Amino acid sequence: MDLNMTAVELGKKIKNKEISVVEATTAYLDAMEEREKDINAFVTIDREGALKRAEEVQKGIDEGKYTGPLAGVPVAIKDNMCVAGMLTTCSSKILSNFVPTFTATAVQKLIDEGAVIVGKANMDEFAMGSTTETSYYGETKNPWDLSRVPGGSSGGSAASVAACEVPYALGSDTGGSIRQPAGFCGVVGIKPTYGRVSRYGLIAYGSSLDQIGPLAKDVTDCATILEAICGKDDRDSTSVKEDGDDFTSALADDVKGMKIGIPKDYLGEGLDPEVKESVLAAAKALEAKGAIVEEFDLSLVEYAIPAYYIIASAEASSNLERFDGVKYGYRTEEFSDLHNMYKKTRSEGFGAEVKRRIMLGSFVLSSGYFDAYYMKALRTKALIKQAFDKAFEKYDVILGPVAPTTALKLGESLSDPIKMYLGDIYTVSVNLAGLPGISLPCGYDKNGLPIGLQLLGKHFDEKSIIRAAYAFEQTMQVKTPAYVTERGE
Amino acid sequence: MEKAYETVIGLEVHVELATKTKIFCGCSTEFGGAPNTHTCPVCTGMPGSLPVLNKEVVNKAIAVGLATNCTITQNCKFDRKNYFYPDNPQNYQISQLYYPICRNGKVEIEVDGKKKWIGIHEIHMEEDAGKLIHDPYTDSSLVDFNRSGVPLIEIVSEPDMRSAEEVIAYLDKLRMTIQYLGASDCKLNEGSMRADVNLSIREVGAEEFGTRTEMKNLNSFKAIARAIENERERQIDILEAGEKVVQETRRWDDNKEYSYAMRSKEDAQDYRYFPDPDLVPIIISDEWLEDIRAKQPEFRDEKKARYQEEYGLPEYDADILTGTKKLADIFEETIALDANPKKVSNWLMVETMRIVKEKEMDADDITFSATNLAKLIKLTDSQAINSTVAKEVFEKIFDEDIDPDKYVEEKGLKTVNDEGALRTTIEQVIADNPQSVEDYRNGKEKAIGFLVGQTMKAMKGKANPGMVNQILKELL
Amino acid sequence: MQITDEIIDYVGILAKLELSDEEKEQAKKDMTNMLDYVGKLNELDTDGVEPMSHTFSVHNVFREDVVVNGDDRENMLANAPEKKDGAYKVPRTFD
pLDDT tens, position by position, C29-48: 999 999 999 999 999 999 99
Q: What is the pLDDT of residues B150-194, one digit of tens each?
A: 999 999 999 999 999 999 999 999 999 999 999 999 988 888 999
- Residue B42 in this model has a pLDDT that exceeds 90: yes
Q: What was the pLDDT predicted at A485?
A: 95
Give C18's contacts in chain A (Cβ within 8 Å): 343-344, 346-347
C10, C58, C64 ranked by CB distance to B268: nearest: C10
State the burial class of residue C92 (Cβ atoms within 10 Å of its Cβ: 0-12, 13-18, 19+): middle
Task: Determine contact: C46 vs chain B, CB below 8 A.
Answer: no
* Contact criterion met (CB < 8 Å) for A317 and B272: yes
Find, among A479, A478, A476, the residue nearest to A286 by Cα: A476
Among the residue ranges A414-428, B113-127, B207-221, B317-331, the one predicted with the least confidence is A414-428
Number of structural domains in chain B: 3
Find, among B171, B174, B155, B263, the residue nearest to B224 by Cα: B171
Task: Determine contact: B49 vs chain C, CB below 8 A.
Answer: no
Q: How far, CA to CA in Å, does A39 sit from each of A32, A89, A149, A164, A365?
A: 9, 18, 10, 11, 39
- Other beta carbons within 10 angstroms of residue B285's beta carbon come to 10
Class of the domain covering C5-38: mainly alpha
User: B33 in helix, strand or coil?
Assistant: coil
Do B269 and B245 share a structural domain?
yes
* Contact criterion met (CB < 8 Å) for A347 and C41: no
Just give the CATH number of A7-265+279-296+390-485: 3.90.1300.10
* Contact criterion met (CB < 8 Å) for C46 and A310: no
Cβ atoms B161, B11 nearer than 8 A: yes
Domain termination residue (choose one: B391, B411, B431)? B411
- Residue B463 in this model has a pLDDT that exceeds 90: no
**Cis bond upstream, residue A299 (ω within 30):** no
DSSP string, B389-414: HHHHHHHHHHHH---HHHHHHHHT-P
Task: Determine contact: C81 vs chain B, CB below 8 A.
Answer: no
DSSP string, A132-176: S-S-TT----BTTBTTB---SSSHHHHHHHHTTSSSEEEEEESSS
**In percent, how much of chain C has pLDDT > 90?**
89
The stretch B98-113 carries a mean pLDDT of 96
B247 to chain A nearest CA, in Å?
17
Cβ atoms A68, A161 nearer than 8 A: no
- Residue B1 in this model has a pLDDT that exceeds 60: no
Give C66's contacts in chain A (Cβ within 8 Å): none
Count of pairs with CB atoms under 8 A, one residue in A, one in C: 162
Give C12's contacts in chain B (Cβ within 8 Å): none
A90, A314, A326 ranked by CB distance to B86: nearest: A326
Domain termination residue (choose one: B369, B389, B411)? B411
Residues of A with active-site annotation: 78, 153, 177
**CA nearest A349 in C: which residue?**
C17
Do B312 and B192 share a structural domain?
no
Q: What was the pLDDT predicted at B450?
A: 85
ipTM of the complex as predicted: 0.97
Cβ atoms B67, B102 nearer than 8 A: no
How far is Cα A365 from Cα A97, in angstroms, rounded to an integer? 31
Find, among A408, A384, A457, the residue nearest to A191 by Cα: A457
Sign of CA dihedral B328, B334, B337, B341: negative
Among the residue ranges A243-252, B278-287, B444-453, the one predicted with the least confidence is B444-453
Q: What was the pLDDT predicted at B468?
A: 81
Do B428 and B358 share a structural domain?
no
Domain termination residue (choose one: B247, B272, B290)? B290
Do B60 and B208 share a structural domain?
yes
**Identity of the residue numbered B425:** T
* Contact criterion met (CB < 8 Å) for C49 and A303: no
Domain boundaries, chain A: 7-265+279-296+390-485
User: B70 in helix, strand or coil?
Assistant: coil
The stretch B291-295 carries a mean pLDDT of 96
Do B34 and B107 share a structural domain?
yes
Q: What is the dihedral of CA A301, A307, A308, A312, to 10 degrees?
A: -170
- Residues of the domain holding B405: 298-411
The stretch B321-339 carries a mean pLDDT of 92
Mutant choice from A120, A241, A327, A376 vs B, greatest count of B C-beta within 10 A: A327
Cβ atoms B278, A319 nearer than 8 A: no
**Identity of the residue numbered A319:** N
The stretch B258-268 carries a mean pLDDT of 80
- Strand stretches in B87-130, DSSP E: 92-95, 102-111, 114-127
Do B179 and B56 share a structural domain?
yes
Give C72's contacts in chain A (Cβ within 8 Å): 101
* Contact criterion met (CB < 8 Å) for C41 and A377: yes
Do B24 and B119 share a structural domain?
yes
Q: What was the pLDDT predicted at A205?
A: 98
- Residue B404 in this model has a pLDDT that exceeds 70: yes
Q: How far, CA to CA in Å, does B130 sit from each of A327, B86, C14?
A: 13, 8, 21
Give B80's contacts in chain A (Cβ within 8 Å): 318
Do B426 and B404 share a structural domain?
no
Do B153 and B36 share a structural domain?
yes
Stretches where chain A sits below pLDDT 50 are: none
The stretch B304-328 carries a mean pLDDT of 92
Cβ atoms B328, B321 nearer than 8 A: yes
Which residues 5-44 of B are in CB contact (within 8 Å) with A?
41, 44
The stretch B288-300 carries a mean pLDDT of 95
How far is Cα A188 from Cα A402, in angstroms, rounded to an integer? 11
Q: What was the pLDDT predicted at A34?
A: 97
**What's the length of chain B?**
476
The stretch B252-258 carries a mean pLDDT of 93
Q: What was the pLDDT predicted at B2?
A: 64
B45 to chain C nearest CA, in Å?
10
| Chain mean pLDDT for chain B | 92
Q: What was the pLDDT predicted at B460?
A: 77
Do B372 and B285 share a structural domain?
no
The stretch B280-309 carries a mean pLDDT of 95
Task: Determine contact: C55 vs chain B, CB below 8 A.
Answer: no
